[in-house]
Amino acid sequence: MPQEREVRAVPQRLTSKDEFRTLLDRQRAEGRTIGVVGTSGGLHAGHLSLVERSIADGNFTVLWLFTSGSAGPYIEAGPLPQYDRDYDRDERVAMEAGIDVLFRPPREVLFPQGSPLVRLQVAESLAEPWPGSDSAEFVNMVAMMVGKELNVVGPCRLYCGEKDWQNAAVLRRMVADLSVPAEIVPCPTVRGADGVVLGSRNVKLLPEERARAVDIKPALDEAAAAIEAVVTGGSRGIGRAIVQRLAEEGASVMFTGRNPETGLGLEKTLRDADLTVRFVVADSAREADVRRAVESTIETFGGLNTVCHNAAATDQTGPGRPDSHVAEIDEDAIDALFGTAVKGAFWAAKYAVRHMREHGGGALINISAASSTLAMKGRPAYQASKGALNALTRQLAVDYGPDKIRANGIIVGFIDTGSEVIKRLTEGNGRFITRVRELIVLPRLGAPADIANGVLYLASDEGSYVTGVLLPIDGGYTCHLNVGDSASIQTYQP
């Protein structure tokens, strides 16, 4: 819960590192969290949005103003000296925005022994320029400057704009690798009326350059809308329908399965139809297999924003199978069912969220079952595993919502997949079919396409405000008590 903000009539302005640290230590001792916004000057609405976010989060809010002089020892080929700066104007704007303290240290305060002899070096995989990003030298300079900043400030939240997405990714990795007690808080990009990002460099754009820049935002929106997905257990039944439906809507889909012949056959069929799909052999109960599937998706398609965990060990459940009664079930069946349904979801989320939270979020979709909410005779381990999957789904929604990662489940009813399980239940068993039709409200069994349409909704922008939901797609099976017509029930008279 945000802390109550201390009312300060006149923000402090400090240049002494020792005084600055003493002030922050005192605030922490009083239970305050330190929020930091760093800038090299030229304050605009984007910077101020970071200040507003820190204030709204209840922090003791610091604005660290890097001047060309104070940052000079780190600048070899950086752009700071090329900028026209009015630091006095920046100070006035920051103080009017409601900060608690402005820190503007001169060079000799930060570097009393002259230029630093020890420097950070960002690995090439992060430092090399990505499309539209800064030079590797600049990325290294930012890491050095912010590393110095966090070392001086101590435990804090550092607010930065998502427009500098490579820098944000580098800083998050830096604080993790170096065990820096700081939380990196990316904040939404602020744009001008024409859609161009507000930034110190963008004010230097020539008219023809700005006209071209206007087209960037619509192109980014279109690219961001594309679904890049991995579907576990996607070779047959419901999984196959999910893979095909997503691909038909333009998604790039990696799907997994344990049978290479079935999976590669489906891949060929869909690719022959000009759909973008790939198959990888994987057992969802095995962490290494799921990790490989997630990493293959990112490598093949250039990203990942949707995970649909559909895999289930259905060969262990049903009449005549190990998972029929608690008194008869064996350890292998329990391990198979929980391993595939629950551990598989853990592994998929573990490796997917690492990518998603650095790239704008995504969707985690777990395929559950109606028997996870309403018990039915037999299949105790299957039902228990799906109940655990439901709990994990809600937990993922809570844990990763702040990273724009949504987590939802689909409660699947009676679906005619044509699988061996369905055949065993229905062949020569007219009583079973009659009972099923009594349990559901709609006059038909579900089809795999019904579930696939639900997955598409939860993965798409149309479901962008839906998280923590277990969506029943069950023909009404779980919406009512099947106790007969109300007219046949005697009214209880106390």
Whose tokens are 């939404």? That residue is: 188
Amino acid at 59: N
Residues annotated as catalytic are: 47
3-state secondary structure of 12: strand
DSSP per-residue codes, 358-387 = TTT-EEEEEEEEGGGTS--SS-HHHHHHHH
Task: Kindly give, in sequence order, each residue whose CB lies less than 8 Å from that of residue 428, ignoring residues fewer than 6 positions away.
Answer: none
Q: What is the DSSP letter of 197?
A: B
- Amino acid (one-letter) located at 362: G
> For residues 375 and 349, is the Cβ–Cβ distance under 8 A?
no
Check: CB of residue 340 under 8 Å from CB of residue 314.
Answer: no
Query: Taking each helix axis from N to C terminus, what angle separates 380-400 and 331-338, rounded to the nearest 10 degrees?
Result: 30
Q: Which of 348, 358, 356 is nearest to 125 (CA)?
A: 358
Coil, strand, or helix at residue 244? helix
User: 209: exposed, middle or buried (C-beta count within 10 Å: 0-12, 13-18, 19+)?
Assistant: exposed
β-strands 306-309, 277-281 pairing: unpaired
- Decide: helix, strand or coil at residue 412: strand
Strand blocks (E) in 33-179: 34-39, 60-65, 101-103, 156-161
